[in-house]
Structure 1
């Protein structure tokens, strides 16, 4: 379905993309800690809400 060149490009692109994202995150880590303090609770609330909706779906279906 894909040629060998397309697979090589996809793998290289994914590796370079991951490296750039990791480098950028590490560079901005101080800013993240300063401005996004406490956002873990928003993530926990969001995941809990989605789990609650899924639980309701399986209970009432």
Structure 2
């Protein structure tokens, strides 16, 4: 997995954490849900990169 991919995937996850936290703080369920979705997207991309790395090695 390239460093750029790691940074991007971690960025998606962190963005999701921030959105979820802000959504909870202001009572915005939509923003909270978007945050959870962004976190899942980052996790899924990260898992995909791990699978690709496993087949390369």
- TM-score (normalizing by structure 1): 0.44
Higher relative contact order (Cα pairs below 8 Å, separated by 6+ residues): 2
Bigger fraction of residues in helix: 2
- TM-score (normalizing by structure 2): 0.47
